[in-house]
Structure 1
Amino acid sequence: MFYRPEAGHGLPHNPFNAIVAPRPIGWISTRGSDGDNLAPYSFFNAVAYTPPQVMFASTSQKPDRNGTKDSVAHIAESGVFCVNIASAALKDQMNASSAPLPAGVNEFDHVGIAAAECATIDCPRVAEAPANLECRLTKITRLAGEANWMVLGVVTGIHLRDDCVREGRFDLSRDGWLTRMGYRDYAAIHELFELERPK
């Protein structure tokens, strides 16, 4: 099978986001003049080591946000955001926070998950997340398409939950790394293997 995206694929569901999988989930928390927000984004990844940098992309819009979503609007206003890493144990709260709630509704309260303050930025974080990456905005870039935005940030502080540090390594194998597979599919990764790079 071959198809050109602009011509359509002829399948019942778009295969694109199932092809590029699994993808980590950036559970983004922000603070704006209208309050705190929490929302998951599966177009998310780390992009550099030194200094550590991350990106996520927002690919839809809300009628009360003028062409974008709450997260991007808050980041444009405040210049900061936090990436909360969602484990498989937090899948239900992560999913509930994806509801298209009106601007100004606090998802921490809506889904019943505790917030804590970040250390290096004025922003909330998910208190029970295995890891939190506090970030300062470096760039918001308009992507091709009607409401596609990419947000880039430098990581200024990192929280690791103590029980997720084992033998000197960050390890989520007990809880499971939560990943997006496409469609409505997710995966919890519990098993790892190592490969040595060729010399």
Structure 2
Amino acid sequence: MIRPLGKCFASLLIFFLVAGCGTSVVQSPTGVSGGAKKRVLAFAGKQGPVLLQVSGQPFREGKGETAAASARILSGFYPEVPRGFTLNPAAAGAPQFRFRLAFDPPVSTSADQICAANAEMPLGYDRRGDRQILFMVFCRQDVAIAAVIARSDRMTSLTDPNYRKLLLQAAREMFQADPNDTGSLGILEFDPKPGIKLNPFEGIF
């Protein structure tokens, strides 16, 4: 009996080691129901390009090129955002709505903290070994509408094809229905205030 049990424990160990690698994407509850998330995205997309911003130190190409590459990858992915994504607040149709990509934020960071961060109160950064974290949030001002946390093996360059796969996997999951998001936020049914404008220098958070 000892030998079979030893094989069993060895198999379990291998399973958990393998499970710890690769890519995983999970929703981060925001209190907004799945249907409302998509309605807010559709409203923002009707106004024009959606603002995209990046924080952290994701790749050797730097923050600016990471943001530009991410905008190119995501543009065309959502039917609700027919004019794609922009890095320029002045070009955004409704810049109070934006996608924020936070790479390796501190473990305790919440989706609302990512939305509220700005140049005066920047988001922290916590690089953790060979695993990379992407916290992707769709915000209306400082309120998180939809959010996911994606974990993957660390990539060093935007030329790694796994980055495109990771970003699209996160984007696909972000607006799916989540039983933990029951609409308790009472979100915006519906007060978008499209006239609000962000500080045009709030590109780095």
TM-score range, shorter chain: under 0.3
Give the alignment's TM-score, normalised by structure 1. 0.27
Return the index of the structure with the highest Cα Rg.
2
Which protein has the bigger helix share?
Answer: 2
The answer to which structure, 1 or 2, has the higher relative contact order (CA under 8 A, 6+ apart) is 2
Structure in which a larger fraction of residues adopt strand: 1
